Amino acid sequence: MSQVSGRSSAVVRDEVAERETAGADHPGAVFAGGGALGALCREKDWASHPLGPVASWPQSLKTAVSIVLNSRFPMIVLWGPELFQIYNDAYRLLMGTKHPSGLGQGNRECWPEVWHINEAIYPRIFAGESLLFEERLYPLAPHGRPEEFYLTLNYHPVRDESGRVGGIFVTIFDVSQEVRARRERDRALAEARAERERLYEVFMQAPAIISVLEGPDHVFTVANARYKELVGGRDVVGKKLREALPEVVNQGFLELLDGVRSSGKPFVAHDALVQLDRNGDGVMEDVYADFIYQPLRDAAGNVFGIMAHAVETTAQVLARRRIEALAAERAAMLGHIADAVLTFDPAGHITLLNETARRLFPALKEGAVLPPGGVGVRQERLDGTPLSREELPSVRAARGERLVNEEWFVHAPDGRKLRLQGSAAPVHDERGTRLGAVLTIRDITQQHRLRQQLETERNRLTQVFMQTPAAVMVCRGPTHVIQSANMGYMDITGHRPLVGKTLAEAFPDLAGQGLFELYDQVLATKEPIIGNEVPVRVERFGRVDDAYFNFVYQPLLDEHGQAFGVMTHAVEVTEMVRSRRQAEERTQELVRLTHALEQSNRELDQFAYVASHDLKAPLRGIANLSGWLEEELGTSLTAEAREYIRLLHGRVHRMEALINGILDYSRAGKSHDQMEQVNTTALVREVLELLAPGPEVRVEVKPGLPTVLAERVKLQQVFMNLLGNAIKFTRIARPDPCIQLAWKDAGDAHDFAITDNGPGIAPEYHERIWGMFQTLESRDTIEGTGIGLSVVKKIVEMHGGRVSVESAPGAGATFHVLWPKRPMEPGPTASPPASSTC
């Protein structure tokens, strides 16, 4: 851009006026000064130009030309309708190759490339308007090719002697460089902002622990998710270090940060100990980390903050510290472990194989390298494709990966294809140096086959379920979509379409009767609901029936213990209810006289009656029917059919055991014997003779068991259930079951403890196991009703005692019976109905 002259425009105009006064009609006077353009104007033959001789020019044009030529700003005057151009030296730079031909040329002819812009502007100026356009883009072609120019233009009308606008003053500033520089600066600033934002996101999402502290007080300005996780989820951003993490003030970290800030040098630490109050309860946790304090500098080179970059090494430090203590025990432990164990050095050479590993891989020796094939160890993915060396668990662990319970195939030398499950992990010393890797492998071939067999068995059970004569329906999900319903259920519901519909869609006639809400309750509580003689108004076979049903709504639980559906087991008892009600009407007087007693025992009596009569009768019918079928068909039965009948007998016996268990539970609080002094040593001996645990079971009874005041039969039930459970569950879990019965004086009670070395019970089940129908194993795995412990709890608590369990998975279990030295004597109650034998 041309520099503005030191003289003001007023001084210029005064000088021009003086020259015009001296000889205004002479071209030399009009074009006086003006530099190169002034000389060119003086040489030009204006007489042959449409404007004519200079002497004939109107004074207004002469004055305008004189102002333009003597201005230091890029200026041009456009005169007349043809917009003839006269410009100065500063403007000539914008003309390019259009100069000198552009002098005196019409504007449209000179600048055709921008006429589409100018043609709308000039009429406004001739109308007397002044216009200013700042940084406007013009596609000019001063050198024969279009170029982008950013111009600031000021248009002013020039009036002639008549007062009309005779021409146009245009002052032009080429601001292209300034605009481009500013835009480049804005683009650079935007990129810098974007880069900072990207860097911030990298910090926030980085797998490492990162924070930024600024100022002499070390105020947190950045803390990513891993950093917040390290400090127990505390929000530290915007706080001083001593306020955000007060527990580290006296641990030397403030001094380290001050040193980095003052020296400008980074600080690096390995396996540094920091004690943190992660839970906010004042309890300090020892945390180890590798970290670096990196000073951050501003554009002037001054340290304005510190970036902390850390990786927690607590696990590695603790593991490294345990290595030396465990080294002496490793060989002995690995030699007796059930899984195959192999250890490797950093180069992948085998350093140890336990006996299980040698049996599994007989061709492998210490010092060998485990390949993907060869030496009798061909390994494959589960899809049958071979594993490359880099995919081997041991090689991946040597690279630092941790693998848990991955599965693959191995072809043994004898031709067997084994399905293996293994875990692998790198091993480090206390300095963090990788020592190699350890690989544990378990042969799950048989286990996998058993799972497949279990699935087959489950399918067969489904077939039995569909063919059972009882009414059974299964629905899934929160909307209770019907998944299956057997023929018995179809019969009692009028053979309406059911499968695939929700309960509300399939049974609109049941709306408002409270049944749908019971399904919601079962899903929410995961507890069964038993209904006895529940009245239901149902449409079936073209009529509306007032029917009565006994039913059980049983929650269906997945492997995580979550309810995913409800199984309905229903028996219609309409005729029975109607018959009984007729009898009740005839004996109304007797009902009124016995109402008080019946009110206290009705629910339990009715349940016992239903359990003994209405559940056993159809079960015996099923058993008899299956027996008749077996006798009638004889040898014509297929093996599969015989298996079905065998399974049916097993389910019937299981249901009978369940019913008897329920009756035992019912009677536990009903009938009472005379309280007497019971020698528990003799009582336990009798119980063990009845249980006959077998020679492989070791039962240890502490000598000198006390004599207690109790109902002998009830106390016998307690020991029978507890010892029987301990023997049953321990014997299937390990080959050397050991049961111990001990006791101690607990003040006003005797504390009996039955301990086993079985599989143990997770803490979340310690309360649940005392409930009705609660078992921790599938009934296809361990036969049981889930009632025994509830009977024990009821008997003990009925006499004023308590029961409890201490256990953990894999650590066995200890069941405690706290039997009071002065037990309560239960009052007399009505006996429950006898079990039906019809």
Q: What is the pLDDT of residues 276-296, one digit of tens each?
A: 998 888 899 999 999 999 999
The CATH number given to whatever domain includes residue 29 is 3.30.450.20
DSSP code at position 457? H
Q: Which of 182, 232, 186 is nearest to 209 (CA)?
A: 232
Residue 268: what pLDDT? 94
Average pLDDT rounded to a whole number, residues 502-508: 92
Q: Tell whether 396 and 278 lie within a shared domain.
A: no
pLDDT band for 610, please (50, 70, 90 cuts).
low
pLDDT in tens, 179-222: 888 888 888 777 767 776 776 676 667 778 889 999 999 999 88
Strands (E) across 457-562 are located at 471-476, 481-485, 529-540, 543-557
pLDDT(374) > 50:
no
Q: Is 391 left (phi over 0), alpha (psi -120 to 50) or beta?
A: alpha
Which of 733, 729, 735, 772 lies closest to 754 in space, CA to CA? 729
Q: How far is CA 628 from CA 611, 621, 640, 655, in A?
A: 25, 10, 17, 20
Confidence (pLDDT) at 381: 87
Residues 497 and 513 in one domain: yes
116 versus 334: the higher-pLDDT residue is 116
pLDDT at position 167, please?
A: 95
169 and 138, same structural domain?
Answer: yes
For 466-483, the pLDDT digits (tens) are 777 778 999 999 999 999
In a domain, 323, yes or no: yes
Residue 264 within any structural domain of the chain: yes
Q: What is the mean pLDDT of residues 244-271?
A: 93
Token pair, residue 139, equals 């596609």
The pLDDT value given to residue 21 = 43
Clarify whether residues 464 and 370 are in a common domain.
no
- Please choose, from the candidates 364, 273, 257, 283, the residue with its C-alpha nearest in 3D space to the C-alpha of residue 318: 273
| pLDDT tens per residue, range 233-253 | 899 999 999 999 999 999 999
Among the listed residues 579, 555, 559, 578, the one whose alpha carbon sits nearest the alpha carbon of residue 568: 555
Contact 772, 663 (CB under 8 A): no
pLDDT band of residue 567 (cuts 50, 70, 90) is very high
Q: State the pLDDT confidence band at 19, using cuts at 50, 70 and 90.
A: very low
Tell the residue number behind the tokens 């639980």, with chain if given.
Answer: 557
d(CA 807, CA 756): 10
Quick one: pLDDT at residue 357?
82
476 in any annotated domain: yes
Quote the domain boundaries for residue 329.
317-443
CB 722 within 8 A of CB 739: no
Which pTM value belongs to this model?
A: 0.29
**Looking at residue 718, which CATH number applies to its domain?**
3.30.565.10
Q: Which of 786, 787, 791, 811 is nearest to 803 (CA)?
A: 791
* C-alpha gyration radius of the chain: 50
For the segment 569-590, the average pLDDT, to the nearest whole number, is 83
The answer to whether residues 256 and 381 belong to one domain is: no
Which amino acid, one-letter code, is at 130?
A: S
Helix 445-467 vs helix 639-668: crossing angle, to nearest 10: 80
∠ Cα 455 382 420 (to 5°): 80
Confidence of residue 79 (pLDDT cuts 50, 70, 90): very high
Work out the mean pLDDT of the chain and round it to a whole number. 82
Query: Is 749 a residue whose pLDDT tops 50?
Result: yes
Residue 125: predicted pLDDT: 93
353 burial level (CB within 10 Å; 0-12, 13-18, 19+): buried
Helices (H), 245-370: 253-263, 314-336, 355-360
Q: Is the pLDDT of residue 439 over 80?
A: yes
In a domain, 598, yes or no: no
Longest dimension (CA), the chain: 152
Q: Give yes or no for residue 148 having a pLDDT over 90.
A: no
Average pLDDT of the residues in 350-364: 83
Give the position of tokens 């077998």: 694
**Considering 152, 174, 196, which residue would you say is the last residue of a domain?**
174
Average the pLDDT over 429-441 and give the result: 86
Mean pLDDT value across residues 710-736: 87
**In angstroms, rounded to a whole number, what is the distance separating the alpha carbons of residues 20 and 682?**
146
Whole-number pLDDT of residue 11? 41
| Least confident window among 171-185, 405-419, 422-436, 451-465 | 451-465
Q: Which tens digit of pLDDT belongs to each residue from 703-714?
A: 999 999 988 888
Q: Is residue 658 part of a domain?
A: no
Instruction: With H, G, I as helix, E, B as strand and everything else as coil, classify residue 324.
Output: helix
Give the pLDDT of residue 661.
53
Angle at 803 between CA 799 and CA 804, to 5 degrees: 170
Residues 75 and 25 in one domain: yes
- What would the mean pLDDT of 321-349 be, rounded to a whole number? 75
Same domain? For 356 and 467 the reply is no
Residue of higher predicted confidence among 196 and 741: 741
What's the pLDDT at 141?
Answer: 77
How many whole angstroms separate alpha carbon 569 and alpha carbon 469? 11
Nearest to 365 by CA among 376, 373, 379: 376
Q: What is the pLDDT of residues 30-65, one digit of tens each?
A: 898 888 999 999 999 999 999 999 999 999 999 999
Residue 835 has pLDDT above 60, yes or no: no
Residues 430 and 550 in one domain: no
Q: How far apart are CA 269 and CA 310, in angstroms?
A: 9
Query: Cβ–Cβ contacts within 10 Å for residue 822, how many?
Result: 10
Which comes out higher in pLDDT, residue 149 or 18? 149
The pair phi, psi for residue 140, each rounded to 5°, is -85, 155
Helices assigned H by DSSP within 526-638 = 574-586, 588-593, 595-609, 616-633
Q: Does the residue 350 lie in any domain?
A: yes
- Work out the average pLDDT over 799-825: 89
On whether residue 179 sits in a domain, the answer given is no
**Both 516 and 392 in a single domain?**
no
Res 352: pLDDT: 83
Residue 790's pLDDT is what? 82
Is residue 655 domain-resident?
no
State the average pLDDT over residues 12-22. 45
Name the β-bridge partners of 805: 815
Helix (H, G, I), strand (E, B) or coil at 698: strand
Phi then psi for residue 775, to 5 deg, are -130, 150
Strand order, beta sheet including 738-745? 698-701, 738-745, 749-756, 813-820, 802-807
Burial of residue 66, with CB atoms counted within 10 A of its CB: 0-12 exposed, 13-18 middle, 19 or more buried:
buried
Total domains present in the chain = 5
Task: Return all residues near 331 (Cβ < 8 A) that are at least 6 apart.
Answer: 352
- At residue 507, the pLDDT reads 92
Answer yes or no: is pLDDT of 426 > 50. yes
| One domain, residues 24 and 77 | yes
pLDDT of residue 769: 82
Residue 449 pLDDT greater than 80, yes or no: yes
Q: Are residues 305 and 321 in the same domain?
A: no
In the block, tokens 């009472």 appear at 672
In angstroms, the CA 317 to CA 210 distance is 21
Place of tokens 């056993």: 616
Same structural domain, 17 and 109: yes
